[in-house]
Amino acid sequence: MQTIQSDSYPIFFENSIQELVNFVEQGNYSRCFILTDENTGEYCLPAVQTALAHLDKTDIIEVNAGEESKNIDFCAGIWKMLIDFGADRKALMINVGGGVVTDMGGFVASTYKRGIDFVQVPTSLLAQVDASVGGKTGVDLDGVKNIIGTFTQPKAVFINIDFLQTMPPRQILSGLAEMLKHGLIVDQAYWDSLKTSDLSLPSVDLVHRSVEIKNEVVIEDPHEKGIRKALNLGHTIGHAVETWSLMNNEDHLTHGEAIAIGMICEAWLSNKKIGLPDDELAEITSVLMKLYPKYDLQEDSFGTLLQHMQNDKKNENGNINFTLLTRIGQYSIDNVCTPAEICDSLRYYAAL
Amino acid sequence: MQTIQSDSYPIFFENSIQELVNFVEQGNYSRCFILTDENTGEYCLPAVQTALAHLDKTDIIEVNAGEESKNIDFCAGIWKMLIDFGADRKALMINVGGGVVTDMGGFVASTYKRGIDFVQVPTSLLAQVDASVGGKTGVDLDGVKNIIGTFTQPKAVFINIDFLQTMPPRQILSGLAEMLKHGLIVDQAYWDSLKTSDLSLPSVDLVHRSVEIKNEVVIEDPHEKGIRKALNLGHTIGHAVETWSLMNNEDHLTHGEAIAIGMICEAWLSNKKIGLPDDELAEITSVLMKLYPKYDLQEDSFGTLLQHMQNDKKNENGNINFTLLTRIGQYSIDNVCTPAEICDSLRYYAAL
Ligand SMILES: NC(=O)c1ccc[n+]([C@@H]2O[C@H](COP(=O)([O-])OP(=O)(O)OC[C@H]3O[C@@H](n4cnc5c(N)ncnc54)[C@H](O)[C@@H]3O)[C@@H](O)[C@H]2O)c1
Ligand SMILES: NC(=O)c1ccc[n+]([C@@H]2O[C@H](COP(=O)([O-])OP(=O)(O)OC[C@H]3O[C@@H](n4cnc5c(N)ncnc54)[C@H](O)[C@@H]3O)[C@@H](O)[C@H]2O)c1
Ligand SMILES: [Zn+2]
Ligand SMILES: [Zn+2]
């Protein structure tokens, strides 16, 4: 499996742990700080730690698992540990975990002593196919997601799909939604192979192709001014549904489950507004409905959902902007849809 | 007075407030957030606010004055206010204050939504001649100075020396130490003109020349790998003395007062080790002793002072590294001095 060369750093897929060891050996770092959470500390850290043991220069920093940890207080805790450990400018951060660990670890490293090197070892499917590429670091504040952060590239990314074996199936499905999205926006053949694969544990080829697609998109548009908007497919409605669910359901939707709903609704809008063929709408709907549980979308939530969309930082002047599809594999950015159209797309999903 | 063009941004010296207004008018910003502290809020903010009033798009954020405010908790407070005010990616931060406000405001802006534009309106002499150039932003954590930060350039710097009229004289003297340093390291003629000027309120020409020198040095070495070390003159010993004083004196030394002591000691080392002429050592000593009060340096503090120097992030492998002078106006970096030599230089100062 070929290494992908991003903007300024490599993304490894084969013998990744050994590649990490090589990287550290060649790097002349004063010390390595491995950031994990409770789960990756149990399931993924041992392999990394064993591989690096002979170098005798690693310290471990562990945070609680979950989005609740991704905030400035935890950053302050990590910065303080770096100070206590005596981390200097030649220190390396190795972030071993899902998107929470890679986003927060990247932010901490990019601001400690005005920036030390860091590498990503993404261990969740979502982190591998999405968070690992693009250079966005960040944490939440006051309930606002990723509001504090930097654009800083890691020095390397090490993807090891064996780590996925301990991921709960529902978390795998969450990452899978982004892979399906990658197919829908630019690569029909990839979408077709996803359709016919066993997706309970995606193969390294599938993960690789997803990373390749995301990488191509972000390299063309590193600061999110144009075509990076392609990646928003499913996210305008999906984010609103995710926020609604976070506030109203005890056992709330995962990110991917919400994005799957968003992709169905936005496929409907694509069909209505820019000519996505009827059979392709039917295909997208049926593939996603087979993979993801049906969510009970009620008419009386639509007002709130629309409000969330209007407040979304991606939208301007009250218009709600969509990335839609003209065909499977062909995206189209900056499509404004009216509240009435959006409600109809939600009704389409609700009636399935 | 000519505008200085730094790496990517201009530094204005004339009609600076009007230049700020022009900048904001041309900038197409959604909103402006002015950061001040209690003192600059009283003395400097009114002029800025009046000049921008017709645009009707400024909000004020005020922090307590002093280094104690320069930390992550205050950053979190400012970030939250930006969220509450609805600041988007097209917002502008205008930092009106001394180095505390410009350093912290720069850090907050460089990390809010992964970076919004900011400009600096430095109002203290130290901020004008030192903090305003070089792209270092940062805050303190756990008593460690500037440990968290980024390298991010402002979009412009607006220097207005009229603001200095309300600065306490002791604060003026603190900034002056950096100006004297600029002369000592690269410009004998500038040093000579400083010697013969009324320094109770430095002229715009003197401030301009200082900024010009710092700008030339940092442009050549933006990430502090080589010649930027020239700026460390007086700071190896000066920082140690400053830290000692912070911990031992109720009314502790200002940064500049400590750096002046450092420059005298390091001039002595320069004379001893790399041939700074005797008369130039005498001249440096007498100019600085006339400007700054004598500090009571006791032999029993030397051990602690040496330890501070050894822990300094600028030093490696226990060696203590100095920027020294071969002549007034000619620096020399990476000179290692022994503890015995350093103690002798402290004794030279103590015996003055
Ligand atoms: N930077 C970006 O471009 C980007 C892109 C997408 C998402 N994100 C961010 O990523 C986060 C979501 O990512 P996530 O779903 O990985 O969250 P996560 O890090 O919280 O991981 C989800 C759960 O899986 C566990 N886990 C991770 N790897 C495991 C493994 N190998 N075995 C067993 N359990 C494991 C974690 O401990 C956690 O409980 C969000 O904060 C989101 O904002 C960032
Ligand atoms: N970024 C850099 O490259 C750089 C360089 C040097 C120093 N610094 C930082 O700058 C800080 C020190 O700068 P400082 O001395 O300006 O500190 P400061 O901001 O605390 O200002 C000193 C005092 O003067 C007051 N003040 C400022 N302008 C005034 C005015 N016009 N009239 C009346 N009072 C005024 C302030 O309120 C404060 O009480 C330190 O935190 C230091 O780390 C940064
Ligand atoms: Zn997503
Ligand atoms: Zn200084």
Q: What are the chain A neighbours of B147 within 8 Å (beta carbons)?
A: 79, 83, 112-113
Rounded mean pLDDT of A321-330? 97
Q: In the prediction, which pLDDT does B315 show? A: 67
Domain boundaries, chain B: 4-166, 169-350
Does A162 score more than 90 pLDDT? yes
Spell out the residues 6+ positions from residue B224 whose beta carbon is closer than 8 angstroms to its own.
none
CB contact (8 A) between residue A144 and residue B72: no
Is the domain covering A4-166 a CATH 3.30.70.1350 domain?
A: no
> Which residues are bridge partners to A91 per DSSP?
A31
CB-ligand 2 contact for B152 (6 Å cutoff): no
- Residue B299 CB neighbours (<10 A): 10
Q: Which CATH code is given to the segment(s) B169-350?
A: 1.20.1090.10
pLDDT on residue B156: 98
Per CB-CB distance under 8 Å, the chain B contacts of A137 are 114
Largest CA distance in chain A: 63
Ligand at minimal distance from the CA of A42 is 1
Residue type, B49: Q
Partner A contacted by B9 (CB < 8 A): no
Instruction: From chain B, pick out residues whose CB is under 8 angstroms from the CB of A107.
Output: 111
Residue A322 has pLDDT above 80, yes or no: yes
Listing DSSP states for A51-101 in one string gives HHGGG--EEEEEE-SSGGG-BHHHHHHHHHHHHHTT--TTEEEEEEESHHH
Q: Nearest ligand, CA of residue B232?
A: 4
**Among A275-289, A304-318, B109-123, the least confident range:** A304-318
pLDDT value of position B211: 97
**How confident is the model at residue B31, as a pLDDT?**
96
A311 CA distance to ligand 3 centroid (A)? 17
Q: Which residues of chain B are under the pLDDT cut of 70?
A: 313, 315-317
Nearest Cβ partner for A112 among B76, B136, B148:
B148
DSSP B132: T
Given the DSSP bridges, would you call strands A321-327 and A330-336 parallel, antiparallel or unpaired?
A: antiparallel
If you count them, how many residues does chain A have?
A: 352
Residue tagged 């009250």 (tokens): A318
Partnered with residue B71 across adjacent β-strands are B140
Token pair in block for residue B336: 């290692």
Pocket flag, ligand 2, residue B171 (CB < 6 Å):
yes
The pair of structure tokens assigned to B37 is 């502290």
- Nearest ligand to the CA atom of A236: 3
Q: What is the mean pLDDT of residues A31-38?
A: 98
- Give the pair of three-digit tokens for residue A314: 């991606």
Burial grade of A67 (CB within 10 A; 0-12, 13-18, 19 or more): middle
Q: In the predicted model, is pLDDT for residue A316 greater than 80?
A: no
Per-residue pLDDT, A315: 66
Residue A15 CB contacts under 8 Å (≥ 6 apart), including other chains = none
Q: Which residues of A touch B114 (CB under 8 A)?
A: 136-138, 149-151
Mean pLDDT of chain A: 95
Asked if A110's CB is within 8 angstroms of B141's CB, the reply is no
Express each pLDDT in A173-182 by its tens digit: 999 999 999 9
Residue A151 identity: F
Q: Quick check: B142 and A80 in contact, CB under 8 A?
A: yes
Q: Which residues of A32-43 are buried (b: 16+ CB within 10 A; e: fewer)?
A: bbbbbbebbbeb
The pTM score is 0.96
Query: For tokens 């205050």, what's the residue?
Result: B74
pLDDT at residue A312 in the model: 77
Choose the weakest-confidence range: A31-45, A168-182, A220-234.
A220-234
Q: How many CB pairs under 8 A join A and B?
A: 69
Would you give the distance in Å from CA A95 to the centre of its chain? Answer: 15
d(CA A74, CA B324): 42
Distance to chain A for B155, nearest Cα, Å: 17
What's the A126 CA to ligand 3 centre distance in angstroms? 8
- Residue B166 Cβ inside 6 Å of ligand 2? The answer reads yes
Complex prediction ipTM: 0.94
Rounded to a whole number of angstroms, the distance from the CA of B151 to the nearest CA of chain A is: 6
- Nearest Cα residue to atom 20 of ligand 2: B66
Pick from B70, B124, B129 the residue to mutate for probing ligand 2's pocket: most ligand atoms within 8 Å of its CB: B124
